[in-house]
Each structure stands twice: as C-alpha cells, then as structure tokens.
Amino acid sequence: MDIHEYQAKELLSSFGVNVPRGGIAYSPEQAVYRCSELSGERWVVKAQIHSGARGKAGGVRICSTEEEVSDAASWMLGRKLITHQTGPQGKLVSRLYIEEATNIAQELYLAFVMDRKLERVVVVASAQGGMEIEEISEKEPESIVRSVVDPAVGMQAFQAREIAFSLGLDAALIPQAVKTITGCYRLMEEKDANMVEINPLVVTGSGEIVALDGKLSFDDNALFRHPKISELRDKSQEDPRETYAEDRGLNYIGLEGEIGCIVNGAGLAMATLDMIKQSGGEPANFLDVGGGASPERVLMSFKAVLNDKNVEAVLVNIFAGINRCDWIAEGVIRAVKELELTLPLVVRLSGTNVEEGRKLLSESGLNIATADTLAEAAELVVGAWKAAKAN
C-alpha cells in the first residue's frame, strides 16, 4: 500500500526526520490560507498523487505570490496528471500539499528497500539527489552507496555514520544525517514498510538536513498490525479493478489486453498469460482464484474480470488439486446465467472431479467452449475473440 507525500512526511517527522512545514488543501482558497499560515515569501504547491515525476507533469510549482498559489491550485485540482509511472490513464489530483520553500544547498538521495535475494534491508544512497535512482545509476553510478542492514542488530550508529561520510557530508552535518538514517530505518522496521525513499534529501543553506519529499510503501499482509497506517489508504489512487478484487479477497492485477483470465495458482496463471500472448492475443488481467474455490468465489472472479470494460473474451483455466472441477463448473454456469454473459468463453478443466465438471458444462446448454489442454484453450479463446471482433 502506498500513501501520499504529506502522510509520509508526518510519519517521517514522528521518527525524528526533519521535514519542511506544510499543510493540506482541497481548494484554491484553502491553498492561499495555508500560505498565510506558513508566512514567508515563497511556497511550493504539490499535487498529491501516488506517483513520482510529478514535477515533470506540472504537479509541483514554486510560487512567490498568493495569486500564483491560487492559479497553480486551480490548474492542478481535478486534473489527471500523467507521468511515466501512472501510465496514459493518469491519476486524479484531489488534494494539494502547500509547503514552505526551502533554500537548497545540496541534494541527496536516500532509500531503504527490501532485497528479497539477500533477505535484508538495503540502504541505497547517493550524493546526486533530485533524480530517479534509474537516472542516477545510469549517469552517476559511482555515486551510489549501498549498505546491507543485519536484521539481528538493526541499523547501528556506526553504519549510519559510514553512509553519511560516504556521501561527502561535512563533519558538522554527520549527527543530523545519522539521526535521519536511523529514524528512517526504525520507521521501516516498526511499521512494516517495504520501502522508505527520500528524494531529494537536502542540505539547506542554514546547515540543516531536510526531507524535501517522502515516499513510503507498506506490506499489505502486515496492515492488520497497523490500523492507523491502514486508514491512510486512498482508493481513488488505485486501479478500481484491483481495488474491487482485493476487497473480495481475490489476487488480481489489471493489464491492458482484451482477454480476461480466471486461473488457480500463480504459476499456472503466468503460463496462461504467456500462452495467450503466444497465440496472438493480449491478456486483460492476472487473476488467481486460490485453492478451495467455491461456486460463489468463481462468480466473484467473473464479476472482477468483467469490471474491465476492455474485456472481450474470457478464459477459465483450472488445474484442480485442492479445488474441485465440479465446483468450478457450477460457478461458471452460475456466472454465465446471472451476469447474462455473451462474450466468448473457453473453459479448460483438469484434476479433481474433472469428468463431473465437464459433464456439468456440456449439459448446461450454454455457449461454453471447452478444451483439454492449455495450448488448445489459448488458441480457442484467441480465435473466438478475433472472430467476434471481426463481426
């Protein structure tokens, strides 16, 4: 789960990380009022969406007058910002963060990420901040510092000092840097975060280390331990297809194709996507119904897939071990009837109670094509989709 920048900064501040003063605004009038609260001569208006590269899309503006703040807020609110991270659909701006402008003397990059191969938290830092880490690794690879944290002891002060010195910071700034680095690690550990990223982390003209931006991502599976973190979720920033499925306990990832997929098991689901591509089609989603799927769960899966208006055909591919093919068949028949499905539908069943499942489908009298193998099923559904599209 991702959260907004202003929410991330509140959490960072609670762990001792220095952040600029700011406030949230939902209208141009509120944005101007925030400026009067902050006082000063310059302010930064930031669109709050779950994406990086907001500045390149016009989502971050430095303003010198209240009129400029009002104009910037009016332009951003209600607009869909499109960045390389949002995709062409963009993300809607419904709130802004108004922040005091900072006198920047130096920009740094600091991130804490999970390295699943090492099974450790890895600190990634660079003296070249303000750019995405991909750009830094391409343009200034020698500037990147990596440090692995031993989970048995956590982030130690000496390790934080080593990172700070490797960034070329002045000796007088090392205590502040250590406080920032250890604070970020404690946040990641205590709140079950997958990632803590500050880009840029800046040194101000007055000699302070400040987190000018903040990006946090949390482990969904651990949110039950953190109800206050859970409340920070903004569903308007998520793919509505994925939100619908997740709220019903389905493992779903939306894609850009036209052929909906209902499969059990992540490995089989990935193989199904590959076979559809190989047969000349484009999968619309990854959906794993899981083990022990009841007819009701199959019906929910169909609803999740059909929430995508781009879906023009559906492939059900089940290898029943824990599942039962007759349950799946019952769910498919129920879905076709209740949802009045007219799209091409191909079902491939294999495993437990497969004969009973196939019999239910064949005797249903419904327009459901069946296949014995995955390759055959993929060819059938792509062929049916192309035929329907041609008509």
Encoding tokens for residue 83? 């960045």
Question: Is residue 248 predicted with pLDDT exceeding 90?
Answer: no
Looking at the domain assignment, is residue 65 inside a domain?
A: yes
Same domain, 131 and 78: no
Buried b (16+ CB within 10 A) or exposed e, 226-259: beebeebbbeebbbebbbbbbeeebbbebbebbb
pLDDT tens column, 193-205: 999 999 999 999 9
Q: Say whether both 95 and 135 belong to one domain.
A: no
**CB neighbours (10 Å) of residue 330?**
21
Query: Residue with structure tokens 């990147």?
Result: 144
Regarding whether 177 and 157 lie in a shared domain, the answer is yes
User: What are the binding residues for substrate?
Assistant: 264
Residue 24 has pLDDT above 80, yes or no: yes
Polymer length in residues for the chain: 391
Domain boundary among 74, 101, 128: 101
Q: Where residue 41 sits, what CATH number does that domain have?
A: 3.30.1490.20
- Split at pLDDT 50, 70, 90, the class of 294 is confident
Task: Note down the domain range covering 27.
Answer: 20-101
Whether residues 121 and 200 fall in one domain: yes
Query: Which CATH number characterizes residue 322's domain?
Result: 3.40.50.261
- Do 87 and 115 reside in the same domain of the chain? no
Burial class (CB in 10 A: 0-12, 13-18, 19+), 147: middle
Shared domain for 209 and 140, answered yes or no, is: yes
pLDDT at 56: 86
- pLDDT above 90 (res 33): yes
CA 159 to chain centre: 30
* Domain assignment present for 4: no
Listed residues 238, 269, 294: the one ending a domain: 238
Positions at the binding site for Mg(2+): 199, 213
Of 238, 254, 287, at which residue does a domain stop? 238
Please provide the DSSP assignment of 154-223 as one string. -S-HHHHHHHHHHTT--GGGHHHHHHHHHHHHHHHHHTTEEEEEEEEEEEETTS-EEES--EEEE-GGGG
What tokens were used for 29?
A: 């009038």
Q: What is the pLDDT of residue 149?
A: 95
Average pLDDT value for residue range 73-90? 90
Band the pLDDT of 100: cuts 50, 70, 90.
very high
Which of 236 and 96 is assigned the larger pLDDT? 96
Question: Does 219 have pLDDT greater than 80?
Answer: yes
Asked if 137 and 144 count as a contact pair (C-beta separation under 8 A), the reply is yes
86 and 107 assigned to the same domain: no
pLDDT score at 86: 83
pLDDT at 301 over 80: yes
How many domains in the chain?
A: 3
- pLDDT for 292 beyond 70: no
Least confident of 94-98, 198-202, 319-323: 319-323
The pLDDT confidence band at residue 236, using thresholds 50, 70 and 90, is confident
User: For 254-264, what is the mean pLDDT?
Assistant: 92
- The yes-or-no verdict on residue 243 having pLDDT over 90 is no
Confirm whether 13 is domain-assigned: no
- Comparing 103-112, 132-141, 272-281, 342-351, which segment has the lowest mean pLDDT? 132-141
Average pLDDT along the chain: 92
> Do 259 and 379 touch, CB atoms closer than 8 A?
no
Q: Mind listing the pLDDT tens digit for each residue in 332-383?
A: 999 999 999 999 999 999 988 999 999 999 999 899 999 999 999 999 999 9
Q: Smallest Cα–Cα separation from 25: which of 79, 122, 97? A: 97
**Which CATH number covers residue 179?**
3.30.470.20
Residues 37 and 172 occupy one common structural domain: no
**Shared-domain flag, residues 225 and 245:** no
Mean pLDDT of all residues in 299-305 = 92
pLDDT for res 55: 87
In a domain? residue 378: yes
Report the sign of the C-alpha dihedral through residues 262, 267, 268, 272, in that order: positive
Rounded CA separation 203/181 (Å): 14
User: Does residue 76 lie in a domain region?
Assistant: yes
Would you say residue 391 has pLDDT above 90? no
* Whether residue 335 sits in one domain with residue 197: no
Strands (E), 270-344: 285-288, 313-320
Burial (CB count <10 Å: 0-12, 13-18, 19+), residue 40:
exposed
CA dihedral 185, 143, 198, 59 (to 10 degrees): -160
Active site residues: 109, 197
Would you list which residues are annotated within the binding site for ATP? Answer: 46, 99, 102, 107
Q: Are residues 358 and 252 part of one domain?
A: yes
Q: Please check whether residue 127 lies inside any domain of the structure.
A: yes
Residue 264 inside a domain? The answer is: yes
Mean pLDDT along residues 271-289: 93
Asked if residue 2 is part of any domain, the answer here is no
Residue 322, pLDDT > 80, answer no
Check whether residue 198 and residue 161 sit in a common domain: yes
